[in-house]
């Protein structure tokens, strides 16, 4: 069954960031799922920003809108790979091809301070424990570069879901199809 | 007006037809139970100072997974995976395939109370490739580092192998000393003793060996019943996979809370098997020391009243001390005065008792069967072995629990 409708986020001159927001109520643990599509022009825009300076695409923030964790398509001098926000500076993993749908999942547990992510059901890095988390209050999906971007790019997201298990939607079902 | 199911939006957002028609999923966002197990492939090589470092997760490709946990023996896990998977045939930085025997290790985590807990860490010992008309498969077996001690020799304090080696003194301390000696003279073996617990004031034991594997010597020591060796998996990336411990008896008495009942009570056992035989029965036992200067004799009049006098006498060449000889002889009588009994049970998942959470190796549990099993059985049994299958969804099931009478 195709998810034939998607959320398009567009950034242009005067609109540096574009994203949607959902409150989550600060669970101890959550799994976030989103399908993402990055056009070639979007990847080119991100690469132009220089190494380790890419926007968050799917992220979790605390009650003061401080980033807790997120996924990005990161450049580190080579082609783009996937990386999570707290691990920026380390080498990204895998390859991000343009005009391709990817399924991204990640998990955060504030009790055990563990994070893990999957790209198309493959966990390329294992658990990560390099961050600390205040709370898991809200979800942002879209182009979120902290206001540092101001050039054209589009991104597409669909099948957004937040659950207490991987792939679950018991916390939030963001289906737009 | 917020966009779709979201609370708010920032910038320019819209719901549009998805590019390429959108991703195809089986049935929308799928709610599935969190997998109970995760298998991580890691660097290996006993001399590799970064052994244990993560390489790739074998899930979700791995099938036919089975753990075999045994008391005082190497524990193992087997599995099967498509050979063309990138987590199998990719070439790692050392030039070998990701999945490779000898210089790769496997860490198996179980999901418990919101966290992944390391329950097995071992060396990829056997790797086999096979193919059919459709595809190729690679099967593997990993053993915990106890297995590695089958390729390490017991040695004297000066490292000498040629002369007679004595495994003496406090049994737990002797285990630690000999692991430390093999690390000192032969190099790392994935095992750390510095963080282990070695129970003081255990039975003093003296055994002598010439050119014997450490693991085999340890098995002889543990078979006396005076000490259990525990290889606790530890999540490290410095070449260490387990911490060694030695205690008088592994496990706890959980006979009041963990009960496996066939045709009685909760009926939490779907299958069971019990074997009794007279092959090992002896109720009048005499043992001599290696030099025959020491003798230890014990007998059990109750057993003799039922079965008659059944004798055994042996020369224990490795024993030099009276205390050790007496301890071994008493232990032998306790194990041999009744017909040998082996019980294997297949607990139902609904039994309410779960491996790791509620019971594990060495624990004493209650096993009960009604008289429909020829004669009723009700008593405390110690767990000597567990076979645990993990299905393709990561769901576990104990497929055999091996127990023997406790006490």
Model confidence at B29, pLDDT cuts 50, 70, 90, reads: very low
Percent of chain B with pLDDT over 90: 43
pLDDT of residue B30: 35
Query: Does residue A9 lie in a domain region?
Result: no
Structure tokens at B57: 């997760």
Query: Does residue A115 lie in a domain region?
Result: yes
Query: Does residue A49 lie in a domain region?
Result: yes
Number of domains in chain A: 1
Q: What is the pLDDT of residues B88-113, one digit of tens each?
A: 888 888 999 999 999 999 999 998 87
| Residue contact A19–B9, C-beta within 8 A | yes
Q: Give A-chain residues touching B34 at CB under 8 angstroms.
A: 165-166
Structure tokens at B284: 């009048």
pLDDT of residue B379: 79
| Residue contact B7–A21, C-beta within 8 A | yes
Tell me phi and psi for residue A77, to 5 degrees. 110, -20
Q: What angle do CA A8, A13, A15 make, to 5 degrees?
A: 55
Query: Does residue A4 lie in a domain region?
Result: no
Query: Does residue A2 lie in a domain region?
Result: no
Q: What angle do CA B310, B313, B314 make, to 5 degrees?
A: 145
Q: What is the pLDDT of residues B52-94, one digit of tens each?
A: 998 888 876 788 999 999 999 999 999 999 888 878 888 888 9
Cβ–Cβ contact A98 with B under 8 A:
no
Task: Tell me the Ramachandran region of residue B95: left when phi exceeds 0, alpha when psi lies from -120 to 50, beta otherwise.
Answer: left
Cβ–Cβ contact A150 with B under 8 A:
no
pLDDT at B318 over 80: no
Q: What is the pLDDT of residues B325-351, one digit of tens each?
A: 888 888 889 888 988 777 777 777 656
The Cα-based distances of B270 to A42, B353, B401 in angstroms read 58, 14, 12
Query: Does residue A7 lie in a domain region?
Result: no
**Chain B contacts in chain A segment 50-69 (CB below 8 A):** none
Query: Does residue A65 lie in a domain region?
Result: yes
Model confidence at B27, pLDDT cuts 50, 70, 90, reads: very low
| Residue contact B29–A175, C-beta within 8 A | yes
Kindly report the CATH number assigned to the domain that includes residue A156: 2.60.120.200
Count how many pairs of residues, chain A against chain B, have C-beta atoms within 8 Å. 173
pLDDT at B33 over 50: no
Cross-sheet strand order for the sheet of B242-247 = B191-192, B242-247, B228-233
pLDDT of residue B336: 87
Shortest distance between the Cα of B144 and any Cα of chain A, in A, equals 21
Q: What is the pLDDT of residues B126-142, one digit of tens each?
A: 999 998 887 889 999 99
Query: Does residue A123 lie in a domain region?
Result: yes
Shortest distance between the Cα of B116 and any Cα of chain A, in A, equals 9
Shortest distance between the Cα of A99 and any Cα of chain B, in A, equals 8
**Structural domain harbouring A66:** 16-174
Number of H helices, E strands in chain A: 1, 11
Return the DSSP state at A86: G
Shortest distance between the Cα of B336 and any Cα of chain A, in A, equals 49
Q: Alpha-carbon distance A172 to A20, whole Å?
A: 13
């Amino acid at each position: 069954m195709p998810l034939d409708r998607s959320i398009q986020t567009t950034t242009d001159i005067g609109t540096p960031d574009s994203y949607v927001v959902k409150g989550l109520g600060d669970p101890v643990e959550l799994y976030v799922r989103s399908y993402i599509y990055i056009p070639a022009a979007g990847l080119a825009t991100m690469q132009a920003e220089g190494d380790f300076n890419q926007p968050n695409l799917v992220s979790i923030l605390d009650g003061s809108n401080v980033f807790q964790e997120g996924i990005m398509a990161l450049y580190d001098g080579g082609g783009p790979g996937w990386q999570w926000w707290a691990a920026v500076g380390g080498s990204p993993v895998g390859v991000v091809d343009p005009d391709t749908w990817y399924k991204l999942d990640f998990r955060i547990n504030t009790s055990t301070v563990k994070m893990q992510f999957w790209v198309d059901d493959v966990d390329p890095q294992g658990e990560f424990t390099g961050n600390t988390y205040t709370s898991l209050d809200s979800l942002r999906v879209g182009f979120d570069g902290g206001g540092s971007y101001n050039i054209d790019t589009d991104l597409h997201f669909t099948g957004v879901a937040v659950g207490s298990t991987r792939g679950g939607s018991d916390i939030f079902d963001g289906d737009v199809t | 007006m917020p966009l779709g199911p979201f609370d708010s939006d920032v910038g320019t957002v819209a719901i549009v037809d998805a590019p390429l028609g959108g991703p195809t999923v089986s049935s929308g966002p799928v709610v599935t139970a969190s997998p109970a197990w995760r298998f991580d492939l890691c660097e290996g090589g006993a001399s590799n100072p970064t052994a244990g470092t993560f390489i790739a997760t074998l899930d979700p490709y791995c099938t036919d997974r089975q753990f075999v946990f045994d008391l005082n023996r190497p524990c193992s896990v087997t599995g099967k995976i498509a050979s063309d998977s990138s987590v199998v045939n990719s070439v790692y930085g050392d030039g070998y395939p990701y999945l490779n025997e000898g210089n790769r290790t496997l860490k198996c985590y179980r999901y418990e109370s919101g966290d992944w807990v390391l329950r097995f860490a071992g060396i990829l010992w056997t790797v086999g490739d096979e193919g059919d008309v459709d595809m190729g498969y690679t099967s593997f077996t990993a053993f915990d580092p106890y297995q590695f001690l089958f390729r390490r020799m017991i040695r004297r304090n000066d490292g000498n192998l040629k002369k007679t080696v004595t495994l003496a003194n406090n049994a737990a301390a002797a285990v630690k000393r000999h692991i430390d000696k093999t690390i000192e003279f032969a190099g790392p073996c994935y095992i750390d003793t510095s963080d282990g617990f070695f129970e003081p004031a255990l039975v003093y034991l003296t055994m002598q060996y010439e050119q014997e594997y450490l693991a085999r010597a340890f098995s002889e020591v543990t078979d006396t019943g005076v000490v259990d060796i525990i290889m606790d998996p530890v999540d490290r990336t410095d070449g260490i996979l387990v911490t060694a411990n030695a205690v008088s008896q592994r496990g706890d008495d959980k006979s009041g809370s963990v009960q496996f009942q066939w045709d009685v009570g909760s009926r939490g056992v779907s299958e069971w098997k019990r074997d009794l035989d007279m092959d090992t029965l002896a109720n009048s036992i005499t043992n001599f020391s290696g030099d025959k200067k020491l003798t230890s004799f014990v007998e059990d009049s109750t057993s003799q009243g039922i079965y008659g006098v059944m004798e055994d006498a042996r020369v224990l060449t490795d024993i030099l001390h009276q205390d050790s000889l007496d301890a071994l002889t008493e232990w032998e009588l306790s194990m041999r005065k009744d017909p040998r009994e082996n019980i294997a049970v297949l607990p139902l998942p609904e039994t309410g008792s779960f491996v790791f959470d509620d019971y594990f190796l060495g624990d004493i549990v209650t096993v009960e069967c009604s008289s429909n099993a020829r004669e009723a059985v009700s008593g405390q049994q110690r767990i000597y072995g567990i076979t645990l299958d993990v299905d393709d969804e990561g769901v576990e099931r104990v497929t055999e629990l091996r127990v023997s009478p406790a006490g």
